Structure 1
């Protein structure tokens, strides 16, 4: 069997044919309910948010993945139809992402709460910074792993600048434009004073929105907010002292808290929506969605390069 598979794979690569081989599930396969533990009519849904938050899918060596926005929103829409789901646990391991993608997920979680009345608990893993914290704000309880890093309540504008290199090698780029700020942020020229002021104003607007949501969802003193709004990261203990989170605990503690808030038994059924079954599945298994296409090799360089130009709720050191 192994030799047959290798023969087929080599044949496809050599002939350049591109048949669709659903050896692995992809974003077009239906989400199926998988029971992770527990029993009874009441359910707790676990959704994972892992990686940089974006509405763009990822390409790998042999397959593609739907975007985090697509994966999370599709699960929430499916869960809205199940009245047995009394609570939602969101497992977050993310340094954040784009401003818009983070805001979309925040809004999707808020709408889910309003439509279903379900209780929401966030369980932070390694990192839940910037946009990863932003999407945590709708939760009834935010719980961090004892070794979590969180915070980074702020905005960063990323764009390449190579005008200095262009000057050194004697190459220039000529731009014809309809307005003096049409080329704002252009990598081949420095920004003017006016353009820098415009960019700073946009950053301020996005930061104000983030800060306003923190004030809306968390009861934190102005003195502590001053430190939080420097956009620093906190350890789990530091975040609890600052008021950014409610408790320290593990994923199992988050599930137990969700049951408590929803008023259902502690051993209620815990489920996840996945596109394939896994033997000996656990709470810690992140759902993956890939499509196998060996004739078309796509390498995602997103992990090797900085995030795309734009405004981000992102803690840069944790991007990978």
Structure 2
């Protein structure tokens, strides 16, 4: 029996080592949390005996998708749902006077980006609480779309932003299938029912339909930017919206952002907008996701649901196929 146990644990250890070398994975062995409600942690406090007012920092990082993030032996939070949950918590707390969005994202799907933008606008309309977006690292495409719903945008000096535009990536395996003697047959109700299928090369009529959709979503993006960045003339904005990314300095010159600074600057600006002199800075997270300062990232914002061993997989491995994206493509999470 002892030898069998030794063999079992040896095999388990070797399996974990092999998995660790197969890609950008991470292991976390921990007890399963018994509850998943958001908790609040204070990460900064102005001096004073009595400081009741709060500034809530809400993270938006990684790929913006409207589904749970997936991994091996675990399932994480839905980024859209988590964002709305945090907004709701900030809305319900009367002591929260303003919100700082801490962005580090290349964007995501058109649908997810727009839902988050709409939720932010509704939060502002219903509560009257100001929102400052602070870009750390990446604030591109869908993340910039979201930032345009705030009252002001601060970008860290080493960050990039912009990438205004829409993209859809698809591919064809028709040539490969032909080489191995496999032929796909689609029984369909209409000529375009298999629109964009990788089982055949993209036809001219399909491309025309998809380009029309891309154009509509692009115009939607421009409308959102125009609402949030009123200082940019429409003609100039269209010139900037060719998909390129901008450094913080370039973005400031083009009026895509308001200031260059750090999270502390975003927090101070939020206090100014709401007239608060002193405040406690708080952050929301799942249990086990304690944050020590304004630069820490919570491990459990991906949510550990019923998993003792957490093996994280990059989001692109769990893609649901071709989608319409507000995304800066070089980024792979």
| TM superposition score normalised by structure 2 | 0.84
CA distance in 2, matches of 1:83, 1:299: 36
* Corresponding residue of 1:163: 174
- From the superposition, tell whether residues 112 and 98 of structure 1 become closer, same or farther in structure 2 (CA, over 3 Å): same
Report if the CA contact (8 A) 1:53-1:68 is conserved. Answer: yes
- Distance in 1 between residues matched to 2:125 and 2:204, nearest whole Å: 45
Q: 1:279 to 1:130 in 2, by over 3 A?
A: closer
Partner of 2:16: none
1:80–1:301: structure 2 CA closer, same or farther, 3 Å change rule?
closer
Say which of 267, 270, 286 aligns to 1:275: 286
Cα deviation, residue 278, structure 1: 6.2
Does 2:310 correspond to 1:302? no
Which residue of the partner structure matches residue 31 of structure 2?
23
Aligned residues: 304
Q: CA deviation at 1:67?
A: 1.4
Partner Cα separation in structure 2 for residue 260 and residue 277 of structure 1: 32
CA drift of 1:33 comes to 1.5
Tell me the equivalent position of 2:304: 290
Using the alignment, how far apart are the partners of 1:303 and 1:109 within structure 2? 26
Evaluate the alpha carbon distance shift between residue 33 and residue 298 of structure 1 in structure 2; reply closer, same or farther with a 3 A threshold. closer
Q: Which residue of 2 aligns with 1:134?
A: 145
Counterpart position of 2:205: 194
C-alpha contact (below 8 Å) 1:69/1:104 kept by paired residues: yes
Deviations 1:180-207 (A, max 9, x none): 1111101011222111110000000000
1:185 matched to which residue of 2? 196
Does residue 98 of structure 1 match 2:109?
yes
Once the two structures are overlaid, the 10-residue window that deviates more, 299-308 or 309-318, is: 299-308
Which string of whole-angstrom CA distances, capped at 9 and with x for unpartnered residues, describes residues 133-182 of structure 1?
01101111100000111101100112232112122222110111111111
Contact 1:23/1:292 (8 A) holds in 2: no
The answer to whether the 8 Å contact 2:65/2:80 transfers is: yes
TM-fit CA distance, 1:277: 5.7
Kept in 1, the 8 Å contact 2:55–2:100? The answer is yes
Q: Distance in 2 between matches of 1:299 and 1:173?
A: 34
Give the equivalent residue in structure 2 for 1:221: 233
Do the aligned partners of 2:31 and 2:308 also contact (CA within 8 Å) in 1? no
Corresponding position of 2:64: 53
- The answer to whether 1:236 aligns with 2:244 is no
Distance 1:148 1:99 in 2: 22
1:317 equivalenced with 2:330 (yes/no)? yes
Gaps of 5+ in 2: 13-28
What is the alpha-carbon distance in structure 2 between the residues aligned to residue 281 and residue 132 of structure 1?
24
